[in-house]
Amino acid sequence: MSLKFNNEDNDGNDDLMSAALFVEDSKDKDDDDGKPPQDGMEYLRQVIKERRRVPGTVTADIDPVKISTKSSKVGAKTDVRSSPPPLLSGRHKAAPPPGCCPGVTWQREQVKQFSEVRTKLAKHLKLTKLNGEVEKHKIPDKKNEALWCHLMLGGEIWNLVGKSREEVEGEEVAKGKTDVAGEPPKLGFVTAIPVYVCEQVLEYLISWLAVTGWRAEYGPWVYTLLTRLEKPLTPDVGSLLRDLALFCAQQRLEIAGKVEAIEAGGVPDDNIAALNLFICLVAKYFDQGDLVDREEE
């Protein structure tokens, strides 16, 4: 048994414009009084009448002179814009330099070890909560970027970040305390940080990387914060991790260029090994497959 709709009131229209439901025409002229419809049929009649007032084809008068003038102005503005920061200078990943591309076996091993660390960390968190052994730590406000930078990397890094922002944004940034040295991550402190704060701190850290370039002291904190992220990723966190991988690929290229001799198939610098690791984790563990390092790149 098939269901048939009333198509008698087609007015010569094609099948796509034919009526799907029968709506009885109203002889009441009050349908156009601007009042809200009182029932479903009255609403449909108003929709039909509004549709009939709209022409089937609409054209616009375009002045080519105005378009060319506006386009030239936009082009001029684009040319004088300052170049983007290194972290966002293009959304394409730089290919690994010769001798710096990690092998498939190495990448699988890193993903396996990282997964095991996350599993052990999750078990530790669960056990400490069950046993009431949660360590109490004073976690800085997630909006206090300066304090987080001092805590993790020290006052000198914050001075570099502040100087860069003053030059770009023209706003005065509080000076860092150069006598304050950063500390490596500790298990009790890291597990006390809420996940949403870890996401914010990771965003801070990636923005600092764009200013200072890669430094070895970033490594432990980047790895630690990655272990606290939850899957599936939110769009914002996914974009953040892609920024991290793109930055690491660019830094790897620059570091490799400074190395005088690169052994075939080897890693010439410990920093390159760290950058390879983070690219690998973002691409393979956090499912950003288009960023995977491949020899044929």
User: pLDDT tens across 188-244, in order?
Assistant: 999 999 999 999 999 999 999 999 999 999 999 999 999 999 999 999 999 999 999
Q: Which residues have CB under 8 Å from 215's CB, separation 6+?
A: 153, 157
Per-residue pLDDT at 251: 94
Within 10 A of 204 (CB to CB), how many other CB atoms are there? 18
Contact criterion met (CB below 8 Å) for 268 and 261: yes
Measured CA to CA in angstroms, residue 152 lies from 27, 155, 181, 193, 285 at distances of 77, 9, 8, 13, 25
Average predicted confidence (pLDDT) for the chain: 80
Q: What average pLDDT does the segment 291-295 reach?
A: 89
- Does residue 73 carry a pLDDT above 50? no
Return the minimum-mean-pLDDT range out of 16-20, 174-178, 293-297: 16-20
- Report helix, strand or coil for 181: strand
The Cα 47–Cα 39 span in angstroms is 13
Model pTM above 0.85: no
Please state whether the peptide bond connecting residue 235 to the residue before it is cis, i.e. omega within 30 degrees of 0: no
**End-to-end Cα distance, the chain:** 59
- Alpha helix (H) ranges present in the chain? 40-53, 64-80, 104-130, 145-152, 155-169, 187-192, 195-212, 218-228, 235-258, 270-280
Classify 258 in phi/psi space as left (phi over 0), alpha (psi -120 to 50) or beta. alpha
Structure-token pair, residue 273: 């090994």
